[in-house]
Amino acid sequence: MKECEERTVICENVTVKDGRLRFAGQDCGELARRFGTPVYLYDEDRLRANCRRFVSAVKRAFGEGGFVLYASKAAAFRQMYRIAGSEGLGTDVVSCGEIAAAQAAGFDLSNAFFHSNNKTDADIAYAMDRGVGYFVVDCSEELFALAVAAAERGIRQKVLLRITPGIDPHTHAAVRTGQVDSKFGSAIETGRAEEMTRLALSLRNLELAGFHCHIGSQIFTADPFVRAARIMTDFAADMRDALGYTAKIIDLGGGIGVRYVEDQPSCDPGEIIGEMAAAMNERCAERGLPLPRVAIEPGRAIAADAGMTLYTAGSVKRIPGYKSYVSVDGGMTDNPRFALYGSPYTVIAAEKADEECSERFSVVGRCCESGDIIGENIPLPPSVGRGDVIACLTTGAYHFSMSSNYNRVCRPPVVMLKSGGAYLAVKAQTPEDLLRGEV
């Protein structure tokens, strides 16, 4: 029998052999039958490799003081915190829910950075009482509230200020955050960032640890990151000159892009981080500023290509002269990213991966909404039909975490693949789970 070559699709952990799609070396058709569909799959080795890639790039670029925070909004179930923690990453959290999940996973919360542009008094109390290490502060109201809460507890709370460097990274408007008119942070340009620095330094129960920025997400080129690094370093030097305050930490946020479809580039985080470090070193030398500890906060680049979603096709509908649909047993409830951002995906009939994809389909979900779309114009084999396993690639970031129960559809389980085996990380929701808490 002729041995078929194994070919790679999008990312090296996704391959096709003998017409069958494999993820992390395992057969997707068999996984679909074993765990049911829809199912979120995660490749634990890939997650760990992504974590290590960032840690080594950051240490190489910024020295031993450099550190990586996993932006857990990308996928915030317990096992993700365990994996990130065991690889030496801290974490970025944005809600009590994420703090609770991290804590339940045994994550060291002194390495947690609490973001969010509007933390309530209850959020602040929850986080402080659990020993969250750093608050990344967005506004003066939060500074005052933190100072009061810290005084009540007799502690000095470490904080960073979220600074808006005034950069438009030319990514989707909904995930752009670094421009002056952003809802996030204090702009350098308007003088607000300096006012916030003065205020933070004047509050006795707060310890200003440094500055943070995050310019946006799904950015493919080094240039906006390099500009942000330069602007933040200059800002830190300006604050040293104006106020005699030297920042210990500069956190440059996340945002490195990930390849979802063939015509997108794949980014090398090491290269981008190296360029950021070169810019910072240069500015620090010019301004006589000691290099602070530098943090990077990747979410998507850690989780996205470690994930895949499997569905089962139901109906196939051809409307002659118009378009054709394949409906799957999930949709916008487990993946709202097409509906929100028009994000493109690579979709493959997992057990027909070598059949010629000579027809184009809209792959749609099961919700009562026409915008419930996984992908438009998806090439699939004409034989695609009920019962076929349909794989959507690169779904490890912002899928589980953005899933919803619209139409009371239950969230799929999360299955981790590891060394040829598989284990359940999150159980599938049941209709009874959804009713819990209702009178």
Nearer to ligand LLP, 13 or 217 (CB): 217
We find the least distance from the C-beta atom of residue 273 to ligand LLP, in angstroms, to be 12
- Residue 301 found at the interface with ligand LLP (CB under 6 A): yes
Q: Which of the 8 DSSP states describes residue 117? A: S
d(CA 22, CA 4) in angstroms, rounded, equals: 14
Asked if residues 38 and 323 have their Cβ atoms less than 8 Å apart, the reply is no
Q: Which listed range, 2-10, 249-257, 280-288, 361-369, lies at the site for ligand LLP (CB under 6 A)?
A: 249-257
Asked if residues 100 and 129 have their Cβ atoms less than 8 Å apart, the reply is no
d(CA 388, CA 329) in angstroms, rounded, equals: 11
Nearer to ligand LLP, 215 or 416 (CB): 215
d(CA 196, CA 208) in angstroms, rounded, equals: 11
Nearer to ligand LLP, 15 or 218 (CB): 218
Nearer to ligand LLP, 341 or 406 (CB): 341
- Can you tell me which of 46, 53, 115, 158 binds ligand LLP, judged by CB under 6 A? 115
Q: Which of residues 118-147 bind ligand LLP (CB under 6 A)?
A: none
Q: Where are the alpha helices (DSSP H) in 63-139?
A: 78-86, 96-104, 121-129
Nearer to ligand LLP, 54 or 361 (CB): 54
- Residue 255 found at the interface with ligand LLP (CB under 6 A): yes
Strand 421-426 to strand 7-9: parallel, antiparallel, or no bridges (unpaired)? unpaired
- Can you tell me which of 165, 166, 210, 253 binds ligand LLP, judged by CB under 6 A? 253
We find the least distance from the C-beta atom of residue 69 to ligand LLP, in angstroms, to be 8
- Residue 71 found at the interface with ligand LLP (CB under 6 A): yes
- Quote the tokens at residue 372: 């419930």
- Quote the tokens at residue 90: 């801290």
Nearest Cα to 43, choosing from 395, 387, 376?
395
Binding footprint of ligand LLP, residue count (CB under 6 A): 22
Q: Which listed range, 67-75, 81-89, 194-202, 281-289, lies at the site for ligand LLP (CB under 6 A)?
A: 67-75
Asked if residues 128 and 180 have their Cβ atoms less than 8 Å apart, the reply is no
Neighbours of 367 (CB within 10 A): 18
Residue found under tokens 């999150």: 426
- Can you tell me which of 46, 53, 119, 337 binds ligand LLP, judged by CB under 6 A? 337
Q: Which of 28, 368, 392, 410 is catalytic?
A: 368
Residue type present at position 128 = M
- Residue 254 found at the interface with ligand LLP (CB under 6 A): yes
If you write DSSP's letter for every residue of 36-84 in order, what string do you get? Answer: -SSEEEEEHHHHHHHHHHHHHHHHHHH-TT-EEEEEGGG--SHHHHHHH
Instruction: Give 228's contacts (C-beta < 8 A, 6+ positions apart).
Output: 165, 167, 178, 213, 215, 252, 253, 276
String marking each residue 212-231 x if it binds ligand LLP according to CB under 6 A: --x--xx-------------
- Can you tell me which of 119, 227, 283, 300 binds ligand LLP, judged by CB under 6 A? 300
Q: Is 4 among the catalytic positions?
A: no
- Bridge partners for 22 per DSSP: 15, 27
We find the least distance from the C-beta atom of residue 68 to ligand LLP, in angstroms, to be 11
Residues at the site binding ligand LLP, with contacts judged by CB under 6 A: 71, 73-74, 92, 115, 175, 214, 217-218, 253-256, 297-301, 337, 341, 397-398
Residues taking part in catalysis:
368
